[in-house]
């Protein structure tokens, strides 16, 4: 598994997913997220049953952690997007997707390189701080800068503390923060 490639895919899925949601109307955004969830579940099911899915199996060999359920993160990502779309709408969901994509990828890569002070498991203070800072910068293009700082900071805490897959809870947490701030 190539961690740099894995995190690049993670980052791109967050940014591209957010862009697509903002381009589509509510109905098509919901259809896209639903289709992504179902497709990933079907591929996961096929792979766990021992089938080789052309192209996808090879891509997963390069980007998935071997001890994990195939596409577990992608399934959580799509489920979180669906929940956020249903409860909060496209704009909040797009901010949540950018946050999880940027925060997680930057935190992981920075933590691997510079992490010295570990907060929980393999989550480091250095990685989390870098992820929060870069996520806040990215979010400042979508929401007011002060809200970007608050949302990214809370997302960093959620990512470190939550026992649930961060691809799900970071998005939902960010949407809840945005709703709480009345943006």
Low-confidence ranges of the chain (pLDDT < 70): 1, 57, 59, 61-68
**3-state percent helix, strand, coil for the chain, nearest multiple of 5:** 80, 5, 20
What domain range is 13 assigned to? 3-181
The pLDDT value given to residue 44: 85
Q: Which residues pair with 154 in a beta bridge?
A: none
Q: How many domains does the chain have?
A: 1
pTM for the full predicted model: 0.88
List the structure tokens of 77.
């990502």
Residues contacting 164, CB < 8 A, separation 6+: none
Q: What is the pLDDT of residues 82-115, one digit of tens each?
A: 999 999 999 999 999 999 999 999 999 999 899 7
How far, in Å, CA of 72 to CA of 37, rounded?
10
């Amino acid at each position: 598994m190539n961690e740099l490639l894995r995190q690049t895919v993670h980052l791109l899925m967050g940014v591209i997913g957010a862009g697509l949601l903002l381009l589509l109307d509510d109905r098509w955004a919901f259809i896209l997220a639903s289709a992504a969830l179902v497709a990933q579940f079907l591929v996961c099911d096929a792979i766990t049953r021992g089938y080789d899915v052309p192209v996808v199996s090879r891509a997963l060999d390069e980007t998935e952690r071997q001890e994990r359920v195939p596409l577990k993160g992608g399934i959580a990502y799509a489920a979180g997007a669906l929940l956020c779309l249903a409860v909060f709408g496209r704009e909040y969901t797009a901010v949540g997707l950018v946050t999880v994509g940027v925060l997680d990828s930057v935190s992981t890569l920075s933590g691997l390189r510079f992490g010295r002070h570990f907060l929980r498991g393999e989550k480091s203070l250095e990685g989390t701080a870098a992820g929060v800072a870069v996520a806040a910068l990215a979010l400042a293009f979508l929401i007011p800068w002060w809200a970007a700082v608050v949302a990214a900071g809370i997302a960093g805490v959620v990512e470190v503390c939550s026992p649930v897959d961060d691809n799900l809870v970071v998005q939902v947490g960010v949407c809840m923060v945005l709703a709480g701030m009345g943006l």
